[in-house]
Amino acid sequence: MTLSKTIYKWLDDRFKLRELLPPIVKHPAPEYAVSNPLYCLGGTAFLCFLILATTGIFLAMYYKPTPAEAYKSVERIMLEVPMGSLIRSVHHWAANTMIAAVMLHMIRVYFMGAYKRPRELNWVVGVFLFLTTTTFGFSGYLLPWDQLAYWATKIGTGIAGSIPVMGQYISLILIGGNDLGAETLTRFYAIHVLILPAAIITLLLLHFLMVRIQGISGRL
Ligand code: HEM
């Protein structure tokens, strides 16, 4: 018996996998969805998220979120850490691809009318997923603490600050004071590696659960 079969049998004896798994795993997608690549965009976004989470864990082992060390630690990842530049580049391109895939997925859902009854709530969860994904990109942009990151964040927080009524509070929470500094960097780091991952995992669970219960919408 192969190792994987031995492990499966061991788990099956204890947790009755043979009864538990089929209703969850054996759920064929409809033929019109399998043959149309437009239905792969959500899955592409999810694959990007998995790549980002894995590469992000490796980056977090070397990155230091303080103004004195952030840039140097990124430089070290790029120049000294074995395969560091590869991991960081994959993280960078997976982030760009995820944003593109999420936008295209949203456009496909909109133009195919898949947001209509009974999927309205999944559209709403999707909007939060879109906001979470773009905030991931925005918060990650500051972390290298170079000139580009600094000024892009200055403009981004300035835009957030110009929102009527709530703007000044949002900007104060993001910046953590009057100007960008150590406080901002640690806040953005906490948002990027703790708050957003927790939020996106919760939203994705809800999103997939609803897709599973309601099924994929039909053709136009
Ligand atoms: C992290 C971002 C996202 C991931 C990983 C994701 C993933 C998926 C997957 C795998 C599906 C099933 C297959 C498919 O239609 O592609 C799906 C369906 C759906 N998604 Fe997303 N999604 C994301 C963001 C969004 C956004 C931004 C919206 C809209 C605002 C949205 C709305 C929907 C709706 C309404 C469905 C059901 C479509 C149907 O039944 O045809 N999703 N999503």
Inform me whether the pLDDT recorded for 21 exceeds 90. Answer: no
Mean pLDDT of 111-127: 97
Comparing 60-64, 129-133, 158-162, 191-195, the range with the smallest average pLDDT is 158-162
- What percentage of the chain exceeds 70 in pLDDT? 99
Question: How many independent structural domains does the chain possess?
Answer: 1
CA of 136 to the centre of ligand 1 (A): 18
Task: Count CB atoms within 10 A of the CB of residue 187.
Answer: 19
Residue given tokens 């000044």 in the structure block: 168
The model's pLDDT over 54-94, given as tens digits with 9 standing for 90+, comes to 999 999 999 999 999 999 999 999 999 999 999 999 999 99
- Domain-located, residue 104: yes
Q: Are 41 and 47 in contact (CB under 8 A)?
A: no
Q: Are 37 and 44 in contact (CB under 8 A)?
A: no
- Domain-located, residue 162: yes
Inform me whether the pLDDT recorded for 10 exceeds 80. Answer: yes
- Domain-located, residue 15: no
By residue range, what is the domain housing residue 49? 32-214
Using alpha carbons, select from 71, 207, 45 the residue that is nearest to residue 136. 45
32, 47, 203, 207, best to mutate for ligand 1 pocket (most atoms within 8 Å of CB):
207
| Residue 140 pLDDT grade (very low, low, confident, very high; cuts 50, 70, 90) | very high
105, 128, 209, 213, best to mutate for ligand 1 pocket (most atoms within 8 Å of CB):
105
Q: Are 187 and 177 in contact (CB under 8 A)?
A: no
Q: Is the dihedral of CA 200, 206, 210, 213 positive or negative?
A: positive
- Which pLDDT score, from 0 to 100, does residue 22 have? 87
- Domain-located, residue 1: no
Mean pLDDT of 40-46: 98
- Domain-located, residue 4: no
- Domain-located, residue 175: yes
| Residue 220 pLDDT grade (very low, low, confident, very high; cuts 50, 70, 90) | low
- Which pLDDT score, from 0 to 100, does residue 29 have? 86
- Domain-located, residue 8: no
Mean pLDDT of 130-149: 97
Average per-residue pLDDT for the chain: 95
- Domain-located, residue 27: no
Q: Say if residue 28 is preceded by a cis peptide, omega within 30 of 0.
A: no
CB-defined site of ligand 1, < 6 Å: 39, 41-43, 45-46, 49, 102, 105-106, 109, 114-115, 119, 122-123, 126-127, 129-130, 133, 204, 207, 211, 216-217
Inform me whether the pLDDT recorded for 28 exceeds 90. Answer: no
Inform me whether the pLDDT recorded for 32 exceeds 80. Answer: yes
Structure tokens at 163: 């929102």
Higher pLDDT among residues 33 and 70, named by residue: 70
CA of 216 to the centre of ligand 1 (A): 10
Residue given tokens 């490796």 in the structure block: 58
| Residue 128 pLDDT grade (very low, low, confident, very high; cuts 50, 70, 90) | very high
Inform me whether the pLDDT recorded for 171 exceeds 90. Answer: yes
CATH number at residue 98: 1.20.810.10
Quote the distance between the C-alpha of residue 73 and its chain's center.
Answer: 23
- What percentage of the chain exceeds 90 in pLDDT? 90
- Which pLDDT score, from 0 to 100, does residue 158 have? 94
Inform me whether the pLDDT recorded for 161 exceeds 90. Answer: yes
